[in-house]
Amino acid sequence: MSAEPRKIRLGALLFEEFELLDVFGPLEMFGLLRDRVEIVMLGERPGAVRSNQGPRGWVDVTLAEAPAVDVLLIPGGWGTRRGVEDPVLIQALKDQAESAAWVATVCTGTALLARTGLLDGRRATSNKLAFKWVMSQGPAVNWVPEARWVEDGKFFTSSGVSAGMDMALGLIGKLFDRETSLQVARWAEYTWNDDPTRDPFAKPAGLVD
């Protein structure tokens, strides 16, 4: 008998004041593929981590001790304001991102990835209401002001909060196929905004005319 294919390991970062939907929106999509995807929660310290909204997530393993992951998910939230100034966190993220086959950021999580330098010269996007601040964290990044999500090589970056679910389905399509993305969306009873260029929030934020 042939061995079962290895599950894709997804590592999701948690930090104090992470944005709930940035993490658990994408994880809902990937978690519906539990026969094919293994999820592990990463952080600087093991244990409970408070979200920006209050409820806590749980870090399974520290970034320093974590095995390499196939997909690294970096959320946003108010905690990114401290995170960009934390050289230990940024180096740990860089190490994981360099070894990961795919790296996905949601919202201001893109600022953390930008600080690693790995987005320099690449296209990326982020939360439209925090766009100028995120841009300041990576002046060598080719920022895309109007996009639901952006794919550049192995890097997927999304706009704010709910956009992470759309990006996650886009990445699932890359990892598997489009029909799998559509099936996951059906299971979640979610209307997938599958056009990454359709961004209704860039204009109200004053980023485009």
User: pLDDT tens digits, residue range 64-111?
Assistant: 999 999 999 999 999 999 999 999 999 999 999 999 999 999 999 999
**Could you give the number of structural domains in the chain?**
1
Answer whether residue 195 is part of any domain.
Answer: no
User: pLDDT tens digits, residue range 132-184?
Assistant: 999 999 999 999 999 999 999 999 999 999 999 999 999 999 999 999 999 99
Answer whether residue 192 is part of any domain.
Answer: no
Range of the domain at 84: 8-187
Answer whether residue 198 is part of any domain.
Answer: no
Q: Please say whether the beta carbons of 163 and 148 come within 8 A.
A: yes
For CA atoms 127, 129, 132, 137, give the dihedral sign.
Answer: negative
Q: Please say whether the beta carbons of 199 and 159 come within 8 A.
A: yes
Answer whether residue 194 is part of any domain.
Answer: no
Distance between CA atoms of residues 93 and 62, nearest Å: 11
Kindly state the average pLDDT of the residues 118-133: 98
> What's the pTM?
0.96
Q: Please say whether the beta carbons of 192 and 50 come within 8 A.
A: no
CATH number at residue 181: 3.40.50.880
pLDDT at residue 74, as a whole number: 98
User: pLDDT tens digits, residue range 1-37?
Assistant: 556 678 999 999 999 999 999 999 999 999 999 999 9
Q: Please say whether the beta carbons of 189 and 49 come within 8 A.
A: no
Q: Which two tokens stand for residue 56?
A: 């806590």
Answer whether residue 209 is part of any domain.
Answer: no
pLDDT at residue 5, as a whole number: 79
Answer whether residue 106 is part of any domain.
Answer: yes
Q: Please say whether the beta carbons of 75 and 19 come within 8 A.
A: yes
Amino acid at 57: G
Answer whether residue 100 is part of any domain.
Answer: yes
Residue 208 has pLDDT above 60, yes or no: yes
Residue with more model confidence, 2 or 57? 57
Answer whether residue 34 is part of any domain.
Answer: yes
Helix (H, G, I), strand (E, B) or coil at 209: coil
User: pLDDT tens digits, residue range 181-201?
Assistant: 999 999 999 999 999 999 999
Amino acid at 63: L
Cα–Cα nearest to 125, from 116, 117, 138: 138
pLDDT at residue 3, as a whole number: 61
